[in-house]
Amino acid sequence: MTDRRDVKRMVETYLGSLATPAGDRVDEKVLPAALTAMHKAKPQMALASHSIWRTIMTSKTSKLTAAAVVAVVVLFAVFGSLTRPAWAIEQTIEALKNVKAIHIAGRVHYPDRQIDAAIDIWAAASSSDPSLSGDFFYREGEDHVCVASEKENLTYVSGRCEGPNTTVVYITEGLNRRGPIFPSGDMLEEFKKAAQHWQEEYRPDPATERPCVYVTFAGPAVNGARYWSIQIDLDSKLPVRAAVWFEEARQGPAHFEYSGVTYNPTLPAGLFEFSMPAGAQVVDCRKIRKLLAETPGLGLPVDGLSCQDACKKVVQAYWQAVIATDWATARKLRPLASGELSTLYAGNPPVELVGISRMNHLEDPGTLAEVTLVIKLTDGTTRNSVLNVGVSDTTDGRVAAIAGTVGPELYR
Amino acid sequence: MIEDRFLIWRFNRGDPAALCRIYEKHRDGLLKTAAALLNDRAGIEDVLHDVFVEFAKSVGRFELRGSLKGYLAICVANRARDLNRMNRRRAAVDPDEVPPRAADGIGPAQAAMSRETIARLDAAMAELPDEQREIIVLHVQSKLPFREIARLREISINTAMSRYRYGLDKLRSILNGELGS
């Protein structure tokens, strides 16, 4: 045995073969005891608040003051109940439990790229865990599609890479882009937990006149946008609209706006079967990740670096090697390349990495990172290139490697 | 992860079904973790019992930071460490005393691993310092990322990874007979 990987494989096999007691036997021993402990712990919580109340109520003045306060509170409560329908987030969480599928239509707006596109989302609850999305379909504009299939256990992300003018489809194992905003109550609960400045405003929907509560808060960020507004229908208790803005003022087009929400719709046949666009370049992300996990010494160690820094480091190292015609190092950093790397740049070899102009899909589990860079060639002209970079945690630490290019090797 | 947060939310409101679901969801993985960390496997059920009873007592005030799986796995590791300290460490393992392997889920690789190899690994794992053994089990068996182990153990990620590597190197040494075992 020469390698840590061999030892790890042996340990995996060994751990997988360890015998454990029968589940039923353990259940009989553990569950009743745990439930009893939970049951006993609950009244103690109630007792603690009760004893505080008893302490306050020991003096006569306290009793009179408390009585007055209670009367005022009751009056406010009765008056409030007449003007404002009672709603609590728990009701929405409960109502969302009956949602097994969802369709959402809306819009996305990227102010920096001046993109404003329609979005279409379909999601079905996971068969094994109804609180999570299983099958998932997302379309943004004409080009960007994501399909996650629970049956296949694969996620396809298809999009147009504008520079090289290439449609690229990324395939990853597992369901990597889970659900839209609404499908489960726990998602809403997560939002509530993370929310700041939570405010509720009760007013009817201007179009339908149905009573609604409008909840605004600063919460989980979507591409940096974090100022949310969610409209909840008070009859159904279900969200009917949501939007998130970059600015707290919530003016102008929202970054994402989910407006047409249908709960438990009939799902179109074949919706979650990915259809490969004609002429698309397929990037199977599993290949580079598997190769890095199984072959020591490939790629570049990037322990402790962010994904962005890791991508930058491996791209710079690769081009340094190419420019120095150190093909052995270049091959190590780009292990999936077919054929000789030197032939890729024959005729007008690169002489300088001018710079990195853009990084896309960083930290995106459904794709590889795309690093767009500018290269200067021997004849003084410059070309662009989009490199796919994979970053993996392996037995020997975090490693980054180049999986290939999106589109041609170099383009104008 | 999100499901766990929701379950914790329900658990904190005293929903017994949430506790049952948490238990069902994590039971098998935690049993394996306990089996891998205990020197005396008779204590597996006790470890799970103690961990879940303590967890149940935290109803209404349990705060989840990170993953529930990671939290429970660390609780199992802590309890297993306590029990190991109480019991004497096994000096050696007789191959005949190795518990029978689980009938289900044995792949070709496991089938190919001899009882003698398993016994040697068993003994080699027991030889490892607790902190190295824990990190190997938590990373390989419980599939916890080093980052999370480091956070839960309040050590740096480099320390976690170093312990893991030292642990694997020591196992290799023991299995190669470089250290007397």
pLDDT score at A7: 83
Shared domain check, B81 and B6 = yes
Shared domain check, B32 and B14 = yes
pLDDT-based confidence at A113, cuts 50/70/90?
Answer: confident
Evaluate whether residue A273 is within a structural domain. no
If you measure CA to CA, which chain A residue comes closest to B114?
A: A14
CATH number at residue A119: 2.50.20.10
pLDDT-based confidence at A72, cuts 50/70/90?
Answer: very low
Shared domain check, A248 and A294 = no
Domain that holds residue B118: 91-126
pLDDT-based confidence at A386, cuts 50/70/90?
Answer: very high
pLDDT value at A232 more than 90: yes
pLDDT value at A170 more than 90: yes
Evaluate whether residue A270 is within a structural domain. no
Shared domain check, B84 and B95 = no
Mean confidence (pLDDT) of chain A? 82
* Nearest chain A Cα distance for residue B106, angstroms: 7
Shared domain check, A157 and A23 = no
**Helices B146-153 + B68-86 axis angle, to 10:** 60
pLDDT value at B178 more than 60: no
Shared domain check, B54 and B13 = yes
Work out the average pLDDT over B89-94. 44
Residue after which a domain boundary falls, among A50, A83, A116: A83
pLDDT per position as a tens digit, A122-141: 988 877 666 667 788 999 99
Domain that holds residue A202: 90-263
Q: Would you call A1 and B176 a contact, using CB atoms and an 8 Å cutoff?
A: yes
Shared domain check, B101 and B75 = no
Which tokens hold the place of B17? 């079904």
Of B20, B110, B125, the CB nearest to A17: B110
If you measure CA to CA, which chain B residue comes closest to A131?
A: B3
Shared domain check, B84 and B37 = yes
8 A C-beta contact, residue A287 and residue A392: no
Does the CB of B138 have a partner CB in chain A at under 8 Å? no
Q: Would you call B140 and A15 a contact, using CB atoms and an 8 Å cutoff?
A: yes
Shared domain check, A258 and A157 = yes
**12-71 in chain B: CB under 8 A from chain A:** 14, 16, 19-20, 23, 27-28, 31-32, 34-36, 41, 44-45, 48-49, 52-61
CB contacts of A12 in chain B (<8 Å) are: 140
Shared domain check, B150 and B167 = yes
Shared domain check, B104 and B23 = no
Domain total in chain B: 2
pLDDT value at B49 more than 80: yes
Shared domain check, A257 and A143 = yes
pLDDT per position as a tens digit, A28-70: 888 888 888 888 786 555 433 333 333 333 333 334 333 443 3
Shared domain check, A379 and A294 = yes
CB contacts of B41 in chain A (<8 Å) are: 19
Reported for A157-161, long-range contacts at CB under 8 A and 24+ positions apart, including other chains, are A157/A366, A157/A367, A158/A274, A158/A277, A158/A280, A161/A370, A161/A386, A161/A406, A161/A407
- If one compares A45 and A75, the residue with the highest pLDDT of the two is A45
Shared domain check, A235 and A297 = no
Residue after which a domain boundary falls, among A52, A83, A114: A83
pLDDT score at B88: 54
Evaluate whether residue A398 is within a structural domain. yes
Lowest mean pLDDT among A61-70, A330-339, B148-157: A61-70
Shared domain check, A255 and A131 = yes
Shared domain check, A140 and A221 = yes
Q: Distances from the Cα of A331 to the Cαs of A24, A99, A112, A156, A403, in angstroms?
A: 54, 50, 37, 28, 11
pLDDT-based confidence at A12, cuts 50/70/90?
Answer: confident
**148-167 in chain B: CB under 8 A from chain A:** 157-158, 161, 165
Question: Could you tell me where the DSSP H helices lie in A84-211?
Answer: 89-96, 185-194
pLDDT per position as a tens digit, B118-143: 788 888 888 888 889 999 999 988 88
Work out the average pLDDT over A249-277. 91
> Which helix or strand (DSSP H or E) is residue A296 part of?
none
- If one compares A379 and A305, the residue with the highest pLDDT of the two is A379
Lowest mean pLDDT among A29-38, A42-51, A276-285, B43-52: A42-51
Q: What percent of chain A has pLDDT over 90?
A: 42
Shared domain check, A221 and A306 = no
Shared domain check, A174 and A46 = no
8 A C-beta contact, residue A314 and residue A302: yes
pLDDT-based confidence at A176, cuts 50/70/90?
Answer: low
Of A30, A41, A187, the CB nearest to B49: A30
Q: Would you call A7 and B31 a contact, using CB atoms and an 8 Å cutoff?
A: no
pLDDT value at B93 more than 80: no
* Nearest chain B Cα distance for residue A21, angstroms: 7
Shared domain check, B134 and B46 = yes
Mean pLDDT is highest, among A55-59, A244-248, B36-40, for A244-248
pLDDT-based confidence at A216, cuts 50/70/90?
Answer: very high
pLDDT-based confidence at B89, cuts 50/70/90?
Answer: very low
Shared domain check, B99 and B17 = no
Q: Would you call B2 and A11 a contact, using CB atoms and an 8 Å cutoff?
A: no
Q: Would you call B140 and A8 a contact, using CB atoms and an 8 Å cutoff?
A: yes
Q: Would you call A16 and B19 a contact, using CB atoms and an 8 Å cutoff?
A: no
Shared domain check, A20 and A128 = no
pLDDT-based confidence at A14, cuts 50/70/90?
Answer: confident
A334 in helix, strand or coil?
A: coil
Shared domain check, B15 and B31 = yes
Domain total in chain A: 3
pLDDT score at B112: 57
Lowest mean pLDDT among A71-80, A127-136, A356-365, B115-124: A71-80
Shared domain check, B112 and B55 = no
pLDDT score at B81: 86
Work out the average pLDDT over B159-173. 89
Shared domain check, A312 and A248 = no
CATH number at residue A328: 3.10.450
If you measure CA to CA, which chain A residue comes closest to B177?
A: A1
Does the CB of B176 have a partner CB in chain A at under 8 Å? yes
Q: List the beta strands (DSSP E) in A234-340.
A: 239-245, 256-263, 281-284, 300-301
Q: What percent of chain A has pLDDT over 70?
A: 85
**92-131 in chain B: CB under 8 A from chain A:** 99-102, 105-107, 109-110, 113, 117-118, 121-122, 125
Q: Would you call A18 and B36 a contact, using CB atoms and an 8 Å cutoff?
A: yes
If you measure CA to CA, which chain A residue comes closest to B142?
A: A15
